[in-house]
Amino acid sequence: MSKRLFIPGPIDVSQDILDCMSTQVIGHRGKEASQLQQDISEKLQKLFYTNSTILLSTSSGTGLMEGAIRSCTSKRAAVFSCGSFGNRWYKIGISNMIPVDLFEVDLGRAISPEMVDKVLSTGKYDLITVTHNETSTGIRNPIEAIGEVVKKYNDIIYCVDAVSSAGGIKIEVDKLGIDICITSVQKALGLPPGMAICTFSNKAVQRAKKVPYRGTYFDLLAMYEYIVSKNYQYPSTPSLSHMFALNFQLNQILKEGLENRFARHEDMARIVRNWAREHFQIFTDENYLSNTLTVIKNTKGISVSNLNKELQKYGYEIANGYGGLKEKTFRISHMGDYTVDDVKSLLKNINEILGFKTDLSLL
Amino acid sequence: MSKRLFIPGPIDVSQDILDCMSTQVIGHRGKEASQLQQDISEKLQKLFYTNSTILLSTSSGTGLMEGAIRSCTSKRAAVFSCGSFGNRWYKIGISNMIPVDLFEVDLGRAISPEMVDKVLSTGKYDLITVTHNETSTGIRNPIEAIGEVVKKYNDIIYCVDAVSSAGGIKIEVDKLGIDICITSVQKALGLPPGMAICTFSNKAVQRAKKVPYRGTYFDLLAMYEYIVSKNYQYPSTPSLSHMFALNFQLNQILKEGLENRFARHEDMARIVRNWAREHFQIFTDENYLSNTLTVIKNTKGISVSNLNKELQKYGYEIANGYGGLKEKTFRISHMGDYTVDDVKSLLKNINEILGFKTDLSLL
């Protein structure tokens, strides 16, 4: 298996998963398709620690973000943002004429439960969105403590963008009171891009029933009702190839053990952080570090794009800073099926290029 | 290659295309991805006989139908429908709060240019939708003659759903004056489902600029602008696996030759029609028969679902009638990479099951 892409998704996919992508197509209205989709759902319920219905969408995660805010905002949405992917929720709301307000924190800082409490106490909102893992800054927001705040209020739909965390970081959807938890398959789940996933709670179902214009393709209520009435089938023709691969990969994940998988991500994160602290600085608030991605402050003023060009000669790729953080930061992802050894190989190559001496065995 | 699914998509996919689906993932923001997407675009421009920009969407065709009507209706949309997939345009419009009117013809009949002329002469509309190939009734609507009508009027956006025809039936997008021509990869293009395609004319670009709330994921203007400014890249992470397979398949299609491919579809259609006329009746108006799908009137009152169960023992599958036409009709698709011999094998098996004697060599 060639391990190459250490960008925050898509990441390299193991050969056995790639092989599943080339499974011959089946009719999407047959029993075999229903069974496949039911199997996937049941495994994803374990991954998300939830009894909520699982919805699969042939799209990127952005599509389900649009579906969530559009299907379930009846009064007004509060978007909490600590970076580009938080801001995306706001843009989606605006582009759909949804009443929405944006509450931002500085780049590199986390959203605080107190901030959420203050906003919700106005009584103006009936849906909130939080980015679990902000891919532009490396922040992991405290969705557990925010969940406790949300529980104090009545009838708030709690939406979490877990695109770059689910499968790598534990998210106990039901315990946290998350109504819609969204992810994509090409991040910590380790598949090729092309499919998104969300959980959809009963509370969200009831809310969507009160929202008149939910669109068609991302109408989460229509998807939910189709799944219930048509035995795990979908209104539109889905990407069956991704479903074959996802079903296989969920078996692998459950075989590895969820706790083991989360621990492996923590180990990879620790190594990258220690290396970064030795040679640069961590950009992100140290209290809210992500286990799937590390954003490093370019304190040495190296050319990140040159580093990446050199790295590619070794067969590796990392990510430059996102948007306005380009060259000021760089990003190393450590998610999916990568191992501690893969991460060390990457760092060894960076060390060689930059002339660093780190004893990687000590990290 | 096992040829099995004679349903109107998804259909069986040849092994070499399936193999492309398991290509290792690349970064979707790199030069390699740009080149891949540019290659695909240029080949699709040939397939559609157009200079319009090509948009690829990780979704089913329904998603791009939503994108088209939502991005480009400024005044009011007129939906012309001759079946379930025509009606879908109307439902999409309503679910998005778009001013829209539905003009229907009886099932099995085609939309007439006169009807379109009469509707447009009211001056109320600035976008029309027509289903090229109505998968529920087997009608191929006269999009050429309708195109002539549309040209009489100023500033009408002409949208065509070519989901089950493009790649199997010639559609000269520019000559016909089509602004948005939509298809999906799992029909006559012969890929696994998971990606949709549309052409997007300059007129459509200008119109979309006047429409304020176009949503996010299916905002066709945003996709267009991203492609232009970011060198054939997409706002969201696309299904790269489908792009690898699509690029390969377009090479195969151009190698076969577009005219040869269309002729092969016509040959397959002729055989199925002749067989159907001998033993049943054709459901569809004989003047508007599709070359990718035949809908057969169940004049013998056979049990279609039993026939399908028996057929599956031989490793084949056809489709029952759609919606209210279930058991009253059944559908045989003949699209993609199937050959005349594949179609004859299917019919030979149906003959055996139903006790028909047809000299297939004479069809």
**Mutation choice for B interface testing from A22, A221, A234 by most B CBs within 10 A:** A22
Query: In chain B, positions 111-170, which contact chain A (CB-CB < 8 Å)?
Result: none
Spell out the domain ranges in chain B: 17-254, 257-362
In this complex, the residue of A63, A66, A240 whose CB is nearest that of residue B192 is A240
- With a threshold of 0.90, tell me whether the complex ipTM lies above it: yes
Residue B11: pLDDT above 90?
A: no
Q: How many CB atoms lie within 10 A of CB B29?
A: 15
Contacts of B322 in chain A (CB under 8 A): none
* Residue A305 sits at the chain B interface (C-beta within 8 Å): no
Tokens of B282: 């054709």
pLDDT band at A363 (very low <50, low <70, confident <90, very high): confident
Look up residue B20 and give its amino acid.
C
Q: B17-254, which class in CATH?
A: alpha beta
DSSP character at residue A253: H
Give the closest residue to A333 by CA, choosing from A90, A10, A106, A1. A10
pLDDT band at B330 (very low <50, low <70, confident <90, very high): very high
Residue A179: pLDDT above 60?
A: yes
pLDDT attached to residue A359: 87
Q: Note whether A22-254 and A258-362 share their fold.
A: no
pLDDT attached to residue A351: 96
Q: What is the CATH number of domain B257-362?
A: 3.90.1150.10
Task: Report the CATH architecture of A258-362.
Answer: Alpha-Beta Complex (3.90)
Render pLDDT for B261-296 as a digit per residue (tens, 0 to 9). 999 999 999 999 999 999 999 999 999 999 999 999
Give the closest residue to B312 by CA, choosing from B357, B360, B346. B346
Render pLDDT for A53-107 as a digit per residue (tens, 0 to 9). 999 999 999 999 999 999 999 999 999 999 999 999 999 999 999 999 999 999 9
pLDDT attached to residue B123: 98
Residue A342: pLDDT above 80?
A: yes
**Mutation choice for A interface testing from B24, B87, B223 by most A CBs within 10 A:** B24
Asked if residue B261 lies in contact with residue B253, where contact means CB atoms within 8 angstroms, the answer is: yes
Task: Report the gap between the CA of A187 and the closest CA in chain B (Å).
Answer: 11
Tokens of A26: 């089946």
Could you please report the per-residue DSSP string of B43-89?
Answer: HHHHHTT--SEEEEESS-HHHHHHHHHHHH-SS-EEEEESSHHHHHH
CA atoms of A261 and B199, how far apart (whole Å)? 43
Render pLDDT for A149-163 as a digit per residue (tens, 0 to 9). 999 999 999 999 999
Q: Do B194 and A194 touch (CB under 8 A)?
A: yes
Q: Do A58 and B60 touch (CB under 8 A)?
A: yes
Contacts of A7 in chain B (CB under 8 A): 27
* Residue B75 sits at the chain A interface (C-beta within 8 Å): no
Q: In percent, how much of chain A has pLDDT > 70?
A: 99
Query: In chain B, positions 233-272, which contact chain A (CB-CB < 8 Å)?
Result: 235-242
Residue B2: pLDDT above 60?
A: no
Residue B1: pLDDT above 80?
A: no
Residue A2: pLDDT above 70?
A: no
Q: Do B13 and A24 touch (CB under 8 A)?
A: yes
pLDDT attached to residue A1: 39
CA atoms of B84 and B88, how far apart (whole Å)? 6
Q: Mean pLDDT over residues A287-311, rounded?
A: 97
Q: Mean pLDDT over residues A337-354, rounded?
A: 95
Render pLDDT for B37-81 as a digit per residue (tens, 0 to 9). 999 999 999 999 999 999 999 999 999 999 999 999 999 999 999
Asked if residue B193 lies in contact with residue B60, where contact means CB atoms within 8 angstroms, the answer is: yes
* Residue A99 sits at the chain B interface (C-beta within 8 Å): no
Beta-bridge partners for A200: A53
Q: Do B193 and A317 touch (CB under 8 A)?
A: no
Average pLDDT, chain B: 96
pLDDT attached to residue A9: 80
**Mutation choice for A interface testing from B184, B220, B241 by most A CBs within 10 A:** B241
Q: What is the CATH number of domain A22-254?
A: 3.40.640.10
Could you please report the per-residue DSSP string of B212-246?
Answer: S---STT-HHHHHHHHHHTTS--SS---HHHHHHH
Contacts of A190 in chain B (CB under 8 A): none
Task: Report the gap between the CA of B236 and the closest CA in chain A (Å).
Answer: 6
Size of interface A-B (CB pairs under 8 A): 173
CA atoms of A317 and A11, how far apart (whole Å)? 10
Q: Mean pLDDT over residues A116-139, rounded?
A: 97
Tokens of A87: 């801001």
B317 Cβ partners below 8 Å, 6+ apart? A27, B4, B5, B6, B7, B308, B311
Residue A178: pLDDT above 70?
A: yes
Instruction: Give the pairing of strands B139-140 and B133-134.
Output: antiparallel
CA atoms of B93 and B70, how far apart (whole Å)? 7
Which residue of chain B is at minimal alpha-carbon distance from A4? Answer: B26
In this complex, the residue of B91, B213, B215 whose CB is nearest that of residue A66 is B215
pLDDT attached to residue A3: 54
